[in-house]
Structure formats: structure tokens, C-alpha cells
Amino acid sequence: MARYTGASCRTCRRENLKLFLKGDRCYSDKCSFERRAYSPGQHGQNRFRKVSDYAIQLREKQKVKHMYGMLEKQFRRYFQMADQAKGVTGENLLVMLERRLDNTIYRLGFASSRDQARQLIRHNHFTLNGRKVNIPSAFVKPGDVISLKEKSRKNEIIIDNIEGAARRGVPSWLELAQQNFQGTVKALPNREEITLPIHEQLIVELYSK
């Protein structure tokens, strides 16, 4: 599975937004974005350039790609699927991204970041509707039940994540049964429930050129 392996904190500084890519570190005093809130590189503090409409659209697309942990080919495929589906293309795209299994597990609080969620899925810590699942990009649908395997319920990292989930909160389209180590997809997310600072229309405009 291809993935971005560069510096996560550098990405946040480049996008001028905390993307919460490193879990609990992003909430601590060690967060690089808080300590150095300027663009990375030798001239980051003094950098000033005229920004074109294209540059704004490109940065928005790059921001969302990094946020959900995808590379260009996969992200473009999602956009094509969203464009072909009924409804508003930008909203369709965000709903598809939110429906990914790795994002759902992150939203439920089993993982501190989407990267960690992908690793846990790949290592077979979860079941989907009682069946083994190890594909982070699998789509969830209403009624799906995500469960932590019995052998993984003593994993200290996962337990700490669940206990810290209250800090982020669980979205209304999901339901977490903490005692049972289980999450349920109650409905598909709608645009109002996706509170991330994303301007999806800029992405639509970029890919529509």
C-alpha cells in the first residue's frame, strides 16, 4: 500500500493548519506546529509570495489528501467516483472519505490518528460485522458494526485511545459502545457533521480545469 512517509509536522506547517496527524503529540507542548507556526524551510519565516487562484485550489487539495492519508492517484479516483454519483460532487467526496474504515476507526476513538488506524487494521485487530477485515480503504455503511478482537482488548495503546476519545468526541453518525469495544455506523455522515476546515468546492474547481 503506497503512502506518504515524509515528516507529518512539516506537512501541518506547510498547510498552515494543525491536521492532527500524530495523535496525542498534537495535543501536547511538543507539537511542532505550535512551536514553529510558520512555513518549513530555510526562508519559512520570511516567505511571502503572491498566491494565485490555482495555488489556493492546489493547497486545499493537498491539505485534504494529507489529512486523510492518501496519494494523488487514489484521491483522484475518489473524486471521479464522487463526480459520477448523484448529488453535489464536493459533498460526495467528503462523505466517501469519512466512510473509509480507517477514518471510521479513528473517529470512534480506537486510534489516535488515521495512520495508526491503518496500522491496526492491517494487523487484524478489528472485525467488520463479525468478519476479519484488513483493508483500510473499505467503505462502511449504515448498520455496520466494527468490533475490536478479543485478543486485542488488553492492548494498552488502544485502551488509552478509547479513554482519550472524549477529548475529540464521537460524531453523531457513529455510536461507540466502550464497554463492548464496539462501534456502530448509525447513518451516513452529512456535510454539517463534517466539521473539518475544508473548502471542497476549491477541489472541485481544481479537478474541473
What span, in angstroms and rounded, lies between the C-alpha atoms of 128 and 99?
A: 13
Q: What average pLDDT does this structure show over 26-43?
A: 57
Residues 6+ apart with CB under 8 A from 49: none
Which of the listed ranges 37-46, 125-134, 188-197 does the model predict with the highest average pLDDT? 125-134
Domains along the sequence of the chain with CATH: 8-97+196-207 (1.10.1050.10), 99-191 (3.10.290.10)
171-to-73, 90, 117 alpha-carbon distances in Å: 28, 20, 17
Phi first, then psi: give them for residue 147, nearest 5 degrees: -125, 145
User: How confident is residue 139, by pLDDT bands cut at 50, 70 and 90?
Assistant: very high
Contact 113, 23 (CB under 8 A): yes
Q: Select the more confidently predicted residue: 107 or 165.
A: 107
pLDDT, position 5: 59
